[in-house]
DNA sequence: TGTCGTGATCTGTGATCACAGTTAGGTTGG
DNA sequence: CCAACCTAACTGTGATCACAGATCACGACA
């Protein structure tokens, strides 16, 4: 049907971009990173992503483009773009003729997601342990402390969820693999609603739970520079949380 | 900033959907799968995805929403949605004030992508080998034969690219993990432009290349039900292709 | 009292218009 | 003849309007 999308422009004919700046001239203006003013659609996307990962949007909850637009004080257009992106990641789903909602995972889907997380995040932990710096370990430790504080009595579920997220991603980012981070983000986007909604509703799980010991083992492995042990600690962290979800959470079918 | 997106509807208050169909009654109407008519935006997305994976859109090639819309005979709106989705997957990128183009990978990005592919697709191959059926093996073998035929003299690059894709995904789908397939598709979407554009331009690599022996080893491992060997064969297939790309292809920076 | 039909309302999808920013090409001045 | 400016076309983004389809609630009929 579509023979050529862009017949007129040959990409090879344009090897080097002309560039708007003058060549050979270095000034202080080159320092500023041309703060590309974030487009409105991207901002909405980020807002919804944060809400999903934090578990503040429950599985099955229905969203309305117009309502979201009104709540965020923007037009319907950026919301459409954001929902399109998130739906492409299956972080949201659009029912045929109905509305857009947060997907409700079946038990099989949740188990598959967990298996993938074990592989991908385990790999990330292993690679991160090989190249992590002292300063980065300190950052992880700081988030671990924050998580511990939030899990203590009285527990602060929202803070715990955020600290847990920061801890994990601080580790993953140490691997220095941006595409991997992006991939893991997508996994969290899909698992976030169940995982963190649960953690939010059952703060008792936090204190004395398996997460604290897994995090401690993870940090110890990092300090020992033991990739296999770090992976093992992460696997236990993910597995324990998944088992708890399977026991308690409401999964479809 | 945004406290609650949808304040009026409590998701818990709507535990079970009412359902339009009558319960307890089984008729012929339950057979028809509620044919949801594919939306226009989805069709455009699929069209662009196919073009990207097949390597028919070269890295650095610029796209214009209006041109694409005109070429596909649709309005600009569905194209915007498709580009939004693909840009979210980083299969396309939108320059700040310029145009949208297919990304040009740096050497570091390509290497990272390859490492991730080794982990994820290797895992998929391993899992698939554990549960693959005879019929599914036959399907893989058929695509292998098609690939062999397309690689022979005279080589048919387009057919070879398609057969190679079908072969790999026939294997991965045998694992029965939909989210994993989706994840691998995204990886191919990003690597496709370089990998298959190269294969298209250098058909000599096909005949007598490492791909045919890797595929043969893969099939042998499948028939032996040897997950580790299947993974190894796939790793060699991916690695060999990646090495060739690194030697010949034009990578940024 | 239970069930079905029906209309108002809300849903996402698509099209069209408006706009600021950039690019490319042509023209003018040196 | 070369370079710099300047204009015109084109870019993605956002907003608004239009429309088919689905949902839901109310009311009428059995």
Instruction: Return the pLDDT at A135.
Output: 95
pLDDT tens figures, A182-221: 999 999 999 988 887 766 676 666 545 788 899 999 999 9
Percent of chain B clearing pLDDT 70 (strictly above) = 81
Say which residues have a Cβ less than 8 Å from residue B162's Cβ, sequence separation at least 6: B54
Nucleotide C10: closest residue by CA–C1':
A64
Confidence category of residue B32, pLDDT binned at 50, 70, 90: very low
Separation between Cα atoms, residue A86 and residue A70, nearest integer Å: 19
Task: Cite the residue boundaries of each domain of chain B with CATH code 1.20.120.530.
Answer: 107-248
* Tokens at B241, concatenated: 């292709």
Residues B2-28: tens digit of each pLDDT? 333 333 333 322 222 333 333 333 344
Instruction: Give the residue with minimal CA–C1' separation from D15.
Output: A75
pLDDT in tens, A106-124: 999 999 999 999 999 999 9
pLDDT digits (tens, 9 = 90+) for B140-175: 999 999 998 888 777 788 888 889 999 999 999 999
CATH of region A40-101: 1.10.10.10
Q: Give A51's Cβ-side CA count (13 Å radius).
A: 26
Phi, psi of A159 (to 5 degrees): -65, -40
- Predicted pLDDT of residue B155: 78
Per-residue pLDDT tens for A59-90?
989 999 999 999 999 999 999 999 999 999 99
Interatomic CA distance for residues B46 and B189, integer angstroms: 11
pLDDT at B13: 26
For residue A204, what pLDDT is reported?
63
Residue nearest to nucleotide C13 (CA to C1'): B39
State how beta strands A93-94 and A100-101 pair: antiparallel
Judge: A84–B89 Cβ closer than 8 Å, yes or no: no
Reported confidence tier of residue A18, pLDDT bands at 50, 70, 90:
very low
pLDDT at site B14: 26
Cα distance from B56 to chain A (closest Cα, Å)?
9
Give pLDDT, residue B35: 52
- Per-residue flag: A11 CB under 7 A of strand C: no
Statement: the CB of A18 is under 7 Å from strand C: yes
| Superfamily designation of domain B107-248 | GntR ligand-binding domain-like (1.20.120.530)
**B251 falls in which pLDDT band (50, 70, 90)?**
confident
Q: In this model, does residue B69 exceed pLDDT 80?
A: yes
CATH 1.10.10.10, chain A: domain bounds? 40-101
N-term to C-term CA, chain B: 40
**Tens digit of each residue's pLDDT (9 = 90 or more) over A93-106:** 998 777 899 999 99
* pLDDT > 90: percent of chain B: 58
In the predicted model, is pLDDT for residue B202 greater than 80?
A: no
Number of Cα atoms under 13 Å in the Cβ half of residue A229:
12
Q: Which nucleotides of D are covered by protein (CB under 7 A)?
A: 10-17, 21-24
**Distance (Å) from the C-alpha of residue A183 to the closest C-alpha of chain B?**
8
For the cut 90, the answer to whether the pLDDT of residue B111 exceeds it is: yes
- Is residue B66 within 8 A of residue B74, CB to CB? The reply is no
Residues A226-249: tens digit of each pLDDT: 999 999 999 999 999 898 888 887
Lowest mean pLDDT among A28-37, A152-161, B204-213, B215-224: A28-37
| Confidence at B245, pLDDT banded by 50, 70, 90 | confident
Given a contact cutoff of 8 angstroms between Cβ atoms, the answer to whether B187 and B113 are in contact is yes
Question: What local confidence, expressed as pLDDT, does residue B55 receive?
Answer: 83
Most confident option among B88-97, B174-183, B239-248: B174-183
By C-alpha distance, the chain B residue nearest A17 is B60
- Quick one: pLDDT band at residue B109, thresholds 50, 70, 90? very high
Rounded CA gap, B54 and B195, in Å?
A: 9
Token digits of residue A75: 């037009």
Confidence of residue A33 (pLDDT cuts 50, 70, 90): very low
What pLDDT was estimated at residue B80? Answer: 94
Nearest to A85 among B14, B85, B123 (CB): B85
Contacts of A3 in chain B (CB under 8 A): 71
What is the phi/psi pair of residue B126, to 5°?
-65, -50
pLDDT value at residue B36: 59
pLDDT at residue A43 is higher than 50 = yes
From the CA of A148, how many Å to the C1' of C30?
Answer: 73
Q: Each residue of A138-184: pLDDT tens digit?
A: 999 999 999 988 887 777 888 888 899 999 999 999 999 999 999 99
Q: A181-210: b or e for each residue (b if 16 or more CB lie within 10 Å)?
A: eebbbbbbbbbbbbbbbbbbeebebbbebe
Q: Which residues of A touch B14 (CB under 8 A)?
A: 60
CB contact under 8 A, B5 and A51: yes
Measure the CA–CA gap between B180 and B119, rounded to whole angstroms: 12
Give the pLDDT of residue A203: 60
Nucleic acid strand C: bases within 7 A of protein CB = 10-17, 21-24
Instruction: State how far the Cα of A215 lies from the Cα of B26, in Å rounded to an integer.
Output: 52
User: Do the Cβ atoms of A57 and B5 come within 8 Å?
Assistant: yes
pLDDT of residue B150: 86
pLDDT tops 50 at residue B78:
yes
Q: Between A205 and A11, whose confidence is greater?
A: A205
Q: What is the pLDDT of residue B2?
A: 33
Select from B1, B4, B5 the residue whose CB has the most chain A CBs within 10 Å, as the one to mutate to test that interface.
B5
A115 near B CB under 8 A: yes
Per-residue pLDDT band at A35 (split at 50, 70, 90)? very low
Structure tokens at B205: 């690599």
Q: Which of residues 144-183 of A touch B (CB under 8 A)?
A: 177-180, 182-183
Å separating the CA of residue A27 from the C1' of nucleotide D4: 22
User: CA B157 – C1' C19 distance (Å)?
Assistant: 45
Contact B47 A90 (CB under 8 A): no
């Amino acid at each position: 049907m579509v023979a050529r999308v862009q017949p007129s422009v040959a990409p090879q004919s344009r090897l080097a971009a002309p560039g708007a700046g003058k060549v050979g001239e270095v000034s202080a203006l080159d320092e500023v990173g041309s703060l590309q003013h974030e487009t409105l659609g991207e901002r909405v996307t980020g807002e919804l992503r944060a809400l999903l990962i934090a578990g503040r949007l429950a599985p099955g909850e229905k969203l309305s483009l117009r309502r979201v637009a009104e709540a965020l004080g923007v037009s319907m257009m950026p919301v459409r773009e954001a929902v399109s992106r998130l739906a492409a990641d299956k972080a949201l789903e659009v029912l045929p003729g109905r509305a857009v909602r947060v997907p409700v995972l079946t038990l099989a889907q949740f188990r598959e997601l967990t298996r993938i997380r074990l592989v991908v995040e385990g790999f990330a932990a292993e690679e991160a342990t090989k190249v992590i710096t002292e300063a980065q370990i300190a950052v992880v430790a700081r988030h671990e402390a924050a998580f511990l504080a939030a899990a203590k009595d009285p527990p602060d579920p929202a803070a715990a969820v955020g600290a847990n997220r920061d801890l994990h991603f601080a580790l993953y980012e140490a691997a220095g693999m941006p595409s991997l981070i992006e991939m893991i983000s997508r996994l969290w986007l899909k698992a976030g609603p169940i995982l963190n909604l649960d953690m939010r509703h059952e703060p008792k799980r936090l204190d004395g739970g398996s997460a604290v010991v897994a995090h401690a083992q993870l940090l110890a492995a990092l300090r020992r520079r033991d990739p296999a042990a770090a992976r093992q600690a992460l696997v236990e962290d993910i597995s324990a949380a998944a088992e708890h979800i399977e026991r308690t959470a409401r999964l479809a079918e």
